[in-house]
Structure 1
Amino acid sequence: IILLLGMVGKNAILVVDFANQAIKEGKAVNDAILEAGEKRLRPILMTTFAMIGAMLPLAFGTGAGHESNAPMALAIIGGLISSTILTLLVVPAIYRIMYPMDAWLRKWYEKGKV
């Protein structure tokens, strides 16, 4: 589970950080989110497929200890697949929903009213 949390966090940070940089450069929020998804798609998929490839021998191995390694590896593979889909679809959607609220809160903090 800790491994999956690290991968999910890293992938989400990649997308959000790239979108934040694009917004600072003057792009609209929707354009920044689309560009972040396009530019970060390949690195996210590469790391996910590398981890899945590393887990396949554990998942389908027949050596000593495969009874305990196979369920763990299959859980990691399933978690990586689902988290990658969620990172590429849900994180940008939540970012789009939360961005106006974040901008409003930052204005209040800058004025010292909160």
Structure 2
Amino acid sequence: MLSRYDKMPSAMISGNLVGKTIGTVGTEIKERLAKIDKPAGVNVVYSGQMDMQSKSFSSMGIALLASIIFMYLIMVMLYDSYVYPMVVMASLPLSIIGALLALALAGKSLSMFSIMGIIMLMGLVAKNAILVVDFANNMQKSGHSAIESIKEATSVRFRPILMTNLALIVGLLPLALATGPGAEWKTGLGWVLVGGLTSSMFLSLLVVPVIYILLDKVVYKFKKGK
């Protein structure tokens, strides 16, 4: 249908999607249009849900950043320290690695629902590190060294972390493997959560103790300097 857009002659092409997300189809369209030599003065403007999704990405990014900041501030109040919450925060990127890897292996694109899953993942993953750090801090208060405390904390908390994460992963698999109308929206969210929980379950138990010991040395030197 011929019409006018910004006082210029225009032709609108629209369609409905079945089985694929807007992000996936949008990427394919842009790649194909990039290979076409368009006449001078011919431009392509994306509107509708593609335009809405691109705008929503920026707002979702702000929401993700805000959730991380608020999480850190809450833990600062709980631990009465600016240092130990950093140990917990260090576990968050580990989950994002697994989330993006799961999306890639499943052949899913990063969509608005996937970003929502990453925001949800922040809270779910932080609890693993909180369990370890809290146990280690209590042991240090009892007179144990930082290395002894984090070793014991990792050993004691491994089983609860493993059980809770496996329960969550198994419960989310039907969402990740869903089929039928509208499933393309759900599966991205499901794979983000499954991948993020899986990677954080193992990597956090390796990385968190190392960061805990390093930051504890920094705190010790700072107190000794005073």
TM-score bracket, normalised by the shorter chain, equals 0.7 to 0.9
In structure 1, C-alpha distance between the alignment counterparts of 2:219 and 2:206, rounded to whole Å: 20
Match of 1:5 in 2: 122
In structure 1, C-alpha distance between the alignment counterparts of 2:125 and 2:178, rounded to whole Å: 26
What secondary structure is seen at the aligned counterpart in 1 of 2:200?
helix
Match of 2:138 in 1: 21
Question: Which consecutive residues of structure 2, in runs of 5 or more, have no partner in the other structure?
Answer: 1-117
Which of 55, 61, 64 is the equivalent residue of 2:172? 55
- Note the C-alpha offset of 1:33: 0.9
- Note the C-alpha offset of 1:82: 1.0
In structure 2, C-alpha distance between the alignment counterparts of 1:54 and 1:106, rounded to whole Å: 46
The alpha-carbon distance between structure 1 residues 30 and 50, as it changes in their structure 2 partners (threshold 3 A), is same
Match of 2:222 in 1: 105
- Note the C-alpha offset of 1:31: 1.2
| More helix as a share of residues | 1
- The amino acid across from 2:125 in the alignment is V
- The amino acid across from 2:150 in the alignment is I
In structure 2, C-alpha distance between the alignment counterparts of 1:66 and 1:78, rounded to whole Å: 18
Cα offsets for 1:40-81 (capped at 9, x unmatched): 111111121111111111111224421111122111111111
Match of 2:182 in 1: 65
- What TM-score do the two structures reach when normalised by structure 1? 0.86
The aligned length equals 109
Q: Of the two, which has the highest radius of gyration? A: 2
What secondary structure is seen at the aligned counterpart in 2 of 1:19?
helix
In structure 1, C-alpha distance between the alignment counterparts of 2:222 and 2:124, rounded to whole Å: 29
- What TM-score do the two structures reach when normalised by structure 2? 0.45
In structure 2, C-alpha distance between the alignment counterparts of 1:105 and 1:18, rounded to whole Å: 23
What secondary structure is seen at the aligned counterpart in 1 of 2:143?
coil
Aligned-pair identity in percent equals 49
- Note the C-alpha offset of 1:106: 4.1
Match of 1:90 in 2: 207
